[in-house]
């Protein structure tokens, strides 16, 4: 059973690799504390996410 479960997870590996989870630390204007901004973005848009 374990081999079958692993084989089914590997079928969609091209879809999952097209996206990256990016985390950016942003300072809150209200409190001044740092918060984390997390998003799933396409690999091509990672640099654009950090430029904002």
Q: Please tell me the predicted confidence (pLDDT) of residue 51.
A: 87
Q: Please tell me the predicted confidence (pLDDT) of residue 17.
A: 84
pLDDT along the chain (52 residues), means of 10: 54 72 93 94 91 82
Q: Please tell me the predicted confidence (pLDDT) of residue 4.
A: 56
Q: Are 23 and 41 in contact (CB under 8 A)?
A: no
Q: Please tell me the predicted confidence (pLDDT) of residue 3.
A: 59
- Terminal Cα distance for the chain, rounded: 46
Q: Are 26 and 34 in contact (CB under 8 A)?
A: yes
Q: Are 34 and 27 in contact (CB under 8 A)?
A: yes
């Amino acid at each position: 059973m374990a081999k079958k479960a692993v084989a089914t997870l590997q079928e969609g590996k091209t879809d999952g690799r097209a996206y990256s989870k990016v985390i950016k630390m942003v300072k809150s204007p209200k409190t001044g504390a740092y918060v984390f901004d997390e998003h799933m973005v396409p690999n091509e848009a990672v640099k654009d996410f950090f430029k904002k």
